[in-house]
Each structure stands twice: as structure tokens, then as C-alpha cells.
Structure 1
Amino acid sequence: MHILTQSLLSFVLLLALAWGLTALWVQAPGGQGLRMIWMGLWAASVLAGLASLWVQHRYAVPARWTLAAAAMMLAVWWISLTPSNQRDWTDDVARSLTGRVQGSVVTLHNIRNFDWRSDTDYTVRWQDASYDLDTLQSVDMALSHWMGPAIAHTLVSFGFTDGRHLAFSVEIRKERHESFSTVGGFFKQFERSIIASEERDILYVRAGPRGEQLFLYPIHMPQAAMRQLFLAYVDSANRLADAPQFYNTVTANCTTLVYDMVRPIVPGLPMDIRLILSGYLPEYLYRHGGLDTRQPLAVLRAQGDITQRAAQAGPGADFSTRVRQ
């Protein structure tokens, strides 16, 4: 039993070592040199504590107290990392979406409507617009595969009887010196952003300039549920504008946050690994009646591949019509 206890404590310390080293590498201040010093001090403290479990010597107790102090300082530093809305953001996430609801009409501020010529060459345009939820007629899920079949970015697009389509996307909010990092998404590197955008912007840039594979799936959802989901996005955006939150690669990403919004609307939806491996989200939706089950999923996937049409349509005003032909 003594050996088993020591082994379990050793395993916990090794996990703490790996977590602390990664957190310090991603977030520790002071540049690479100082970062390496912090990592070295943490590693030395943990390894000394680990040795004290197995080798009894006069330094065992001081080593454990040193480890406890180092762990306390690491925890205090980690807790001190708080999200902010005031940073030097990249242009595509520079503004915070907000909305105001008056009866059935929702007025949104800071809708993105860029003209993209390449991923780095674009015309910045933010706009305000109003949407009457009584004219809401469709919900589509867009999946943009950017790293193999299992990994996709999830967007939800709402269609109105006047022909407009507005897409919502939960994204990382990058600063100008940052680039996307899956590991960084676990360690408070990015804030969370909700973007509302014209499809000619947010879908075109993925299929066109970024060369991602883009699928569009019509979702089976009653009009009342569509309305609730739209309002859930607006409410989430307003709360983020007031109180920023960190993005998390697993617990608070582009798919799990949509699931959190849909779950109160469609009770009983189970958690599933496909909410993380979102490239397989169509299988999940098909199984639970979110897609048209009168056709095989393979047919829906083939029909939903709009990559070529979206890239060829360009960022024109008729983009949404052309990709749905």
C-alpha cells in the first residue's frame, strides 16, 4: 500500500510538472530567456519533491516545503491571468458584437462584412443591421475543415425571407502578434469572440483565400427553436462584451459553446466526442434527427460540399444564393 501511494503521488507530480512547464512556456512573462528560468525552477522543485517520496534523506522535508511553496506561487500566478477586451486585436476580431432586442426585431452592432482578396489583403467593413425574427426561415450549419477530416470549424447561419443570411462564429480573439495554437487554447492564450458576419465574408474567406474545405448542412429546427438559438447568440455576445472570457480548445470552443446554447432548446442532446472532433458533427446530427434522414448521410455530405461554388462565387452580393444552387 505504501508503494502504491507513492506511485500515485509520483504520477500526480509528473502531471503537475508537465502542466506547469507548458503553462509557463505559453504564458510566462519576460521573454524566452526568463521563461526558461521559470520553467527550470518549477522542474527543479517538482523533481526534488518527487525524489523525496522515494529517497529518505535530511533534505526530504525542505524539498517538500519548497515544492509546496512553488506550487502555491504557480497557482497564484495562474489565477492572476484574467481575460480582457482591451488588447491590440487583429482586424477580423477587433470589434465586439452586441445586440438590442425590441419585440421581434434584433438590431446588431459590429457585424463583419469584409471584402477579402487574400487572407492578408482585405477591406475592413463593420456595419449595423436589424433582423426581424418573425421572418426567420432557415438554419444551416457550416463546417470548414482546416486540418484533416476530424477537425473543422463550426458556424451557424440564419436565413431570412428577404434573402439575407447571417452567420455566427465562435472564434479565438487573436492579438496582432499571435497565431492560432491548439496548445495555447488550453492555457489562457486567447480570449473568446463571437462574430456575426455576412456569408460573403465569413464563408468566402474560408473556401477562397484560406483554401479550406467547406460544407453547408440545412438543419431541421422549428421556427421557435431557430428564434431561441438566434437570441442565445445575441445574449452570449452581449455577455462577452461586458465580461470577457477565455477560449478553451476543449471546453469552450466553436462547437461546445453552440451545444451549450442548443441544449436548453432541444433537451436530451447527449455529450459526445464528436462535439470536440467536430469534423464528425454531421454523424452526430444525423443520428439525433438534426439532418434530413430521408437521404443517406453520404448524399447529404456530397450535396453539402460547397467549397468550389463558394470559392468561385467570390465575395459578391449574391454569394448566399450561388452557394445554395
Structure 2
Amino acid sequence: MLRISVWGLLALIFTGCASLTPKNGRNWAPDQTRLPTYEDLAGQITIHNVRNCRYTSSDEYVVQYYDKQFNLSDVQSVDFLIAPFDDTPAVAHTMLSFGLADGDQIVSSVEIRKEADEEYSAWKGFFNQYELMYVIGDERDIINLSSNQYKSDVYLYRTTATPEQSQQLLIDVLQRANKLAVKPEFYNTLTNNCTTNIVRHVNDLAPDRVSYNYKVLLPGYSDEYAYELGLLDQSVPFDELKQRSRINDLAEKYEYDPDFSAKIRRR
């Protein structure tokens, strides 16, 4: 009888969650009020609502946005960022940083879209309690928040993507951001999160390039998996590469430096 009651309760929970509808019109946290969108006019890219927060703490900041214009051919590289959770290093937040010919970087960070005074819970993320958001942000903003405010370890890996592959990947990311601006989706801790979306983007360009396994479902291992697949530099052992790729000291040292992105890559 108890087993039936438990299954009945779970059925009610999942039925209730399935009836929920994702929305873009809520009272959002100040740093997530605007959704990014983009336009492509014959290779001239304009990204609207690039976030550029300046932080005094993880929950005290000045929110700014700007529009970014560049030629698609200026995109030369893509780097993989991973920030493991301090208390559960098998879990991590993963991001992509696209490098332009002039040295600028544009970061894509797939996140829950928090309402005002809302906090992340992995458990709630299974039950359609958060909308999904693509934050397109200034690299100083995104890395500073993880490294200097949350005090998480942050690793920055150069990928083996060619300029053409990096350009295609960025367009795939921006097209998804455009879709979410008109058709919101729910975040899901297991199936629709930061890492699974990166995997989808890679597989959109190269079908079945990345398989779903425990190193995707536990993204704290995703950097090791990317290394095994040849998506990262394999000229040195992975443990050595990981040690070299931690950027916290540089991110703190050069937090206010105008050449922030270049200097955190000088290792």
C-alpha cells in the first residue's frame, strides 16, 4: 500500500509539472531581465543585449547591456569553460567563449532564468520550476562572477575547433537564443542544461560527435571527456592540461585590466 501511495504521489507531481507552461513574462532577477537576440545581415552579426555586469558581490552588481557588431568571419576560435561546484565537483557549470580577431571574447552561458529572489536548486530543476536562458555576456562579467564572486575554480580550455567550425557553432548558439526569445522552454537538471545544450550544438554541426554518457550527465567530468574526444589539446596529459587551465589567479589579478581576456590566457 505504501509503495502504491508513493508511486501515486510521484504520478501526481509529474502530471502537475507537465501541465505547467514556460513563460518569458515574469518578475525576473535584475541580471536576467533581458533575453539576447541576434541578426545576421550578409555576415554582419549584431547581438542585442550582451550582458556586462560589474560586481561588488555575487548578489550586488550594476547591470549593463550593449549591442555587439562584428563580421562572422572575425570569429576565430572557441574556448570551453568549466566551473565545478565546490561541494559537488562532479557537477559543474559549462560555457563557451568565442574569440574574435580583435581579441574580444563573447561568452554563451546556458542557465536557469531566475525570478527575483529565486535561487537554484538541482532538485527543483527536475520539475519545470525554471525557464531556460542563454546569457550572452562580456567575458569579464561571466568569469568574474564564477571566479571572483562565487569563488569557484574556473578552467579555460582552448578547443581544437577551426575558425569555420567556431563560426558555425556561434551561429547555432545564437539561433537557439532567438528561438527562446519567442518560444520559452523549461530548464531540466538532467536533459536541458548548460552541458547538454553544448553537446547538442556540437552534434548539430557534426552528428554523433559527442555521445551522452555519465561525463555529460555529471559535467564535472566534461572537460576530461572533451579531451578524450580530441576536442581539446592532447599534446600534454590531461592532468597537466587541467592544471595549466585554471585561471582564478589571473582572473583576480586582471579583473579591472582592459586586456582582461588576453591576459587570463597567458599561461
Give the structure-1-normalised TM-score: 0.77
**Alignment partner, residue 181 of structure 1:** 121
Say whether residues 1:268 and 2:208 are aligned partners: yes
Q: Once the two structures are superposed, what CA deviation does each residue of 1:28-59 show, in whole Å capped at 9, x if it has no partner?
A: xxxxxxxxxxxxxxxxxxxxxxxxxxxxxxxx
Measured on the aligned residues, the alpha-carbon RMSD in Å equals 1.7
Q: How many residues align?
A: 264
Matched, 1:132 2:124: no
Residue matched to 2:48: 109
* CA deviation profile, 1:235-285 (whole Å, cap 9, x unmatched): 000000001110000000000011111102122322211112111112211
Deviates further, 182-191 or 114-123: 114-123
* Equivalence for 2:21: 82
Partner of 1:172: 112
Once the two structures are superposed, what CA deviation does each residue of 1:165-201 show, in whole Å capped at 9, x if it has no partner? 0000000001013111111100111000001111110
* 1:90, distance to aligned residue in structure 2 (A): 0.5
User: Which of 198, 209, 223 is the aligned partner of 1:282?
Assistant: 223
Q: CA deviation at 1:136?
A: 1.3
For the 8 Å contact 1:116–1:122, the answer to whether it is kept is yes
SS, match of residue 204 in structure 2: coil
CA shift in 2, pair 1:313/1:242, >3 Å = same
Of 182, 192, 199, the match for 1:259: 199
More deviation, 200-209/311-320: 311-320
- Higher RCO by CA contacts (8 Å cutoff, separation 6 or greater): 2
- State the distance in 2 between where 1:259 and 1:13 align: 38
Greater helix share, 1 or 2?
Answer: 1
Unaligned segments of structure 2, at least 5 residues = none
Instruction: Report if the CA contact (8 A) 2:99-2:106 is conserved.
Output: yes
- Is 1:190 matched up with 2:182? no
Where does structure 1 lack aligned partners over 5 or more consecutive residues? Answer: 1-6, 24-73
Higher mean C-alpha deviation, range 147-156 or range 227-236: 147-156
For residues 97-120 of structure 1, give each alpha carbon's deviation from its aligned partner in whole angstroms, at most 9, with x where no partner exists. Answer: 100011222101000011112112
Among 259, 263, 266, which residue is 1:322 paired with? 263
- The answer for the alignment partner of 1:311 in structure 2 is 252
Larger radius of gyration: 1
Distance 2:8 2:182 in 1: 33
Report the Cα distance in structure 2 between the residues aligned to 1:198 and 1:143, rounded to whole angstroms. 16
- In 2, the alpha carbon distance for the partners of 1:79 and 1:120 equals 32
**Cross-structure match for 1:144:** 83
- Corresponding residue for residue 139 of structure 2: 199
Q: Secondary structure at the match of 1:292?
A: coil
Is it true that 1:225 corresponds to 2:165 in the alignment? Answer: yes
Q: C-alpha separation between the residues in 1 aligned to 2:144 and 2:206?
A: 30
Q: 1:216: which partner in 2?
A: 156
- Aligned counterparts of 2:4 and 2:208: Cα–Cα separation in 1: 35
What is the CA-CA distance between 1:315 and the residue it aligns to? 4.1
> Helix, strand or coil for the counterpart of 1:176?
coil
**In 2 relative to 1, CA 146–98 (structure 1 residues): closer, same or farther, beyond 3 Å?**
same
Shift of 1:12: 6.9
The letter of the residue matching 2:226 is: L
1:116 touches 1:315 (CA, 8 Å); kept in 2? no
Instruction: Give 1 or 2: higher strand fraction.
Output: 2
In the alignment, residue 265 of structure 2 is paired with which amino acid? R
Counterpart for residue 7 of structure 2? 15
CA contact (8 A) 2:82 2:223 kept: no
Identity %: 34
Matched position secondary structure for 1:324: coil
